[in-house]
Amino acid sequence: MNTASRYISVAGLEVDVDYKDIKNLHLSVYPPAGRVRVAAPQRTTEEAIRLAIVQRLPWIKRQREQFQNASRQTERNMVSGETHYVWGKRYLLDVSRSSGAFGVETKGSTLWVITPEGTDADGRFAALDRWYRRELKAAVPALLEKWQPILDVEANKVVVRRMKTKWGTCIAGSRTIWLNPELAKKDPRCLEYIVVHELAHLRERGHGERFISLMDQVLADWRSRRDQLNESPLRHEEWG
């Protein structure tokens, strides 16, 4: 199947658009951040795509709110037997161990969250969240060392910050990159894609043809990495 990709901005949303050999236009919203993606027939005009997105803005907003509510519910549970992911691998949570200090470790297929006796679900989640952030921060320097020379750019600062609708963002004025700690749950290839994507914005601020060309040049498989990051949409609509 022939595919071409681009990005467009509609009502403050950054939307991935893939042109494919299909008959109908499909719009999907992906967890956990609510990323919006459109698969459109090859000859669909940008105006038609924008109109379809604008018409579905209330629906998109509802799906994003559902993802956020589901995420908050998961955070409140934090009980043994839940499934959690670390760098793309599936683990079963075990919170049965206690200690005088907080700790997180993986062993076999188990993700241990070790907390002082009496720690509630919020405390367990906070401990795990801190650990995910440390994992992400530890992985970033090697990626910067690899990719900044390739792209001939340099970020002044990298911040790990939870974001509702983005995996990463670039503040070009201060040359600062923000990364969502949720990336520590994904395959490392996905983190590399986001780091390259945001570094590329230090050269090309928008998502136009020059940006796409730069991404194609330095990271040929970036589309497959993006798709892996946004896999399994939980919300989908189609027009025909």
Give the separation between CA 57 and CA 236, rounded to whole angstroms: 13
State pLDDT tens for residues 84-93: 999 999 999 9
- Give the residue-averaged pLDDT of 198-218: 92
Q: What pLDDT band is residue 235 in, cutting at 50, 70 and 90?
A: very low
What pTM, to 2 d.p., does this model score?
0.76
Single-letter code of the amino acid located at 18: D
CA angle 205, 9, 43 (to 5 degrees): 110
Q: What is the biggest distance separating any 2 CA atoms in the chain, rounded to whole angstroms?
A: 63
